Amino acid sequence: MAKAEMKYDTQPENEEHSSLKGTLASVFILGAILVVTWVGVYFLYLDRF
């Protein structure tokens, strides 16, 4: 399996196999969840105190 990966690495047209765009999207979604949660409670705080 490791060999197969190395083969892909040498073939630029196979970009679909080495791309980490899903990881990028995932960390953005994760970041958004953190921000939304925080801002949500922040407004609750402003509302109450």
CA geometry: angle 26, 8, 23, nearest 5 deg? 5
Angstrom distance (rounded) from CA 41 to CA 19:
36
Closest Cα partner for 17 from 6, 27, 33? 6
Give the count of residues interacting with other proteins (CB under 8 A).
27
Site string for other proteins, 4-43 (x = CB under 8 A): xx--x-------xxxxxxxx-xxx--x--xx--xx--xx-
Least distance CB 15 / other proteins (angstroms): 10
Least distance CB 12 / other proteins (angstroms): 15
